[in-house]
Amino acid sequence: MPLEPNSTPDTDSLVKRLAGPSTTKAGLAIDQSGINRIIAEASKGSKFYENEKRKDKDLTERIARILRHRDEVLKGVDIHSIEHGVDQLLFKLEGQRDLTQTIVHVDMDAFYASVELLDDPSLEGRPFAVVGKGVLTTASYEARKYGVRSGMAGFIAKKLCPHLILVGNHFDRYLEMSRRVMDIFRRYDPNMCAASCDEGYINITAYCEDHQLTAEECVQQMREAVQKETRLTVSAGIAPNKMLAKICSDKNKPNGQFKLESDPATIKEFMHDLSIRKLPGVGRVNERLLESIDIKASIHEAILPEFILS
């Protein structure tokens, strides 16, 4: 399509930003470049587009300032001495690592959409999304195949999937089902930490010891109890700390589980080639900031231990 007079192509960073914060959701296509271009074109002329364009420009300028400051600070610096100091810090951190606990991150599969499906079985196998105030709060796995995802405006979702069914949200119902699910999780850890209405962290160390279960057996039992008693499915990650468990819970979604062995070598191997976007707390902005200083598709060995400590 030819450009209009005085218009310029969207930058790659803007196109990526317009794609939204949920591009790593389970069920989405691995290569989303074509989908992202459709989203960018569909967004043009909207307040959302102009706001994201301004934020992208501000971030570009911020990165330029950071790089100038970095270059200035590094002038005449003894890099070897700094690396030696970092090595000493990492050695100290390694000694503080606790790999004795078994932590599970449980994450309900497309929770709002799954609850809606319980109440309206006609939605089974069809692309649909739960929407509130024009913005999607979740999408069924059938809808995600088209690039539809949470945080997306309804009109953009319709561009990607014209036959998408939009369903209003019912928060009272979600809270009711959340309470039922959390009650099941508390059987395994009365002190479990609910991170939201559809996810939480459970320390199953004591439960496994008391009931002579492996971690995998315990989590399988837990997930089966949820499905039997609520007809909902849950995915789980098993690891020695919360952050690793959260990353692991996404490995076999939906309705699956993944265990990361509790030894440093296995953990480092697991993290080495992991996309930095998979780290909790690293969203669109932090991802781009880190990429600007050459921390890109893998977790740099120098920062790995600090990230994976409890």
Q: Are the C-beta atoms of 256 and 235 separated by less than 8 Å?
A: yes
Q: Are the C-beta atoms of 252 and 216 separated by less than 8 Å?
A: no
Neighbouring-strand partners of residue 105: 201, 237
Catalytic residues: 199
What's 144-212 look like in SS3? HCCCCCCCCEHHHHHHHCCCCEEEECCHHHHHHHHHHHHHHHHCCCCCCEEEECCEEEEECHHHHHHHC
Q: Phi, psi (5° rounding) for residue 106?
A: -105, 135
Q: Parallel, antiparallel, or unpaired: how do β-strands 128-132 and 234-239 relate?
A: unpaired
Q: Which token pair is 259? A: 């265990």
Q: Phi, psi (5° rounding) for residue 211?
A: -105, 5
Residues 6 or more apart whose CB falls under 8 angstroms from that of 82 comprise none
